[in-house]
Amino acid sequence: MLGTTVTRRLLALALLGALVGVPGAALSSTAAVADQVREREYWLEDYRIEEAWGITRGAGVRIAIIDTGIDATHPDLVGAVVGGADFSGLGTADGLTPVGSERRHGTMVASLAAGRGNNGVDGVLGSAPEAELLSLSMSFGGGTIPPDEQVANAVRFAVDNDADIISLSLTRNTRDWPESWDRAFSYAAANDVVVIAAAGNRGSGTVSVGAPATMPGVLTVGGVDQDGQASDTASSQGITIGVMAPSEGLVGATPGGGYVSWSGTSGATPIVAGIVALVRSAYPNMDAANVINRVLLSAERVTETVPDPIYGYGLIDAYEALTADVSYVSANPLGSLDEWVVLHRKQEGNPIVVPLGPQSTATEEEKALPPRIPARDDPQWRLLPYVVTVGFASALSVVILTGAVLVLWRLRKR
């Protein structure tokens, strides 16, 4: 599938950053001519996305882009964005004002997921050019709302506003995540939403995969170069990687109608998000677990080990994801966040002590007193004669019976 080498290689100046730093790529500022942009989208053919469009183009599926916000006025995104919100406190309420120092990032990501192009032959086409987008803007620096809280709130908003897929081209640069994410991402899983996250980029300091790409149930996307080899700079490595997608030589839309060249798993992730949208569009009644399973098992294997710590299940294949014969699964093959929480999170509050037997209600002072002898008129005395009488009668009966047995035994001996 990827044997054809695309000769046009675009310059990447910076890559996916940390959640607490920059969100993604600082890119070449040279704008591309629109028709050249379309020609540079080598992945549409190499990863059989154009072939998959013969079946569906993603209509009826909604992708939430949690990023720096989408410029919905860009010619390639007109009509694609159907709603949104701001979680940074810096943007507009509708989430359509890009925020932060890397304000272009959200628009670039959105274009690779569901760009519609323009004039029929120009501009960026996303993997699912008929899918809908939610623009959920957040800031990776500045403002008073912590980024972790912004992400958790955005995930919940996406679920409550009918997202079928959540795309996260960001990383904390740590394997762990806050407990607020437990609840938010569990809420997404419970509502049948596919969550997709970028593995991160070694070129920006993310040596190994970080959260949310380390979270159980999340479809993690690593990156390959134009020859289908794991990218040395534009992808991190880790055992949680699900599939690989192109992360070098990318092109994307930017606010104000421009285009840039870029690299990183920030771009690989929305390409996969769009392909997942194609699957959800082709199989509208398929649950998230089986959508993920179909994407994984239809990927083109790179090594005999599956999943492989570098390539995961292999290279994403859009057409195979729609047409392959894949068995049904009853649970997400990438694990359960709820089960992880039960095993790894400490219980909140004090432990509940369950008594194993009768417990004394006497105070310490009462325990120190000598045993109480009931008075003559105490009701307890009414029990004592009965106990003594029954005990004495029982003992006398045993003595009489034993004596009778001995007498009979002696008579027989004679």
Please say if 105 is a catalytic residue.
yes
- Catalytic site residue from 67, 148, 308, 317: 67
Q: Which of 235, 266, 281, 298 is catalytic?
A: 266
The verdict on whether 266 is a catalytic residue reads yes
The single residue of 46, 71, 76, 105 carrying the catalytic annotation is: 105
SS3 for the chain, per residue? CCCCCCCCCCCCCCCCCCCCCCCCCCCCCCCCCHHHHHHCCCHHHHCCHHHHCCCCCCCCCEEEEEECCCCCCCCCCCCCEEEEEECCCCCCCCCCCCCCCCCCHHHHHHHHHHCEEECCCEEEECCCCCCEEEEEECCCCCCCCCHHHHHHHHHHHHHHCCCCEEEECCCCCCCCCCHHHHHHHHHHHHCCCEEEEECCCHHHCCCECCCCCCCCCCEEEEEECCCCCECCCCCCECCCEEEEEECCCEEEEECCCEEEEECCHHHHHHHHHHHHHHHHHHCCCCCHHHHHHHHHHCCECCCCCCCECCCECCECCHHHHHHCCCCCCCCCCCCCHHHHHHHHCCCCCCCCCCCCCCCCCCCHHHHHCCCCCCCCCCHHHHHHHHHHHHHHHHHHHHHHHHHHHHHHHHHHHC
- Catalytic site positions: 67, 105, 266
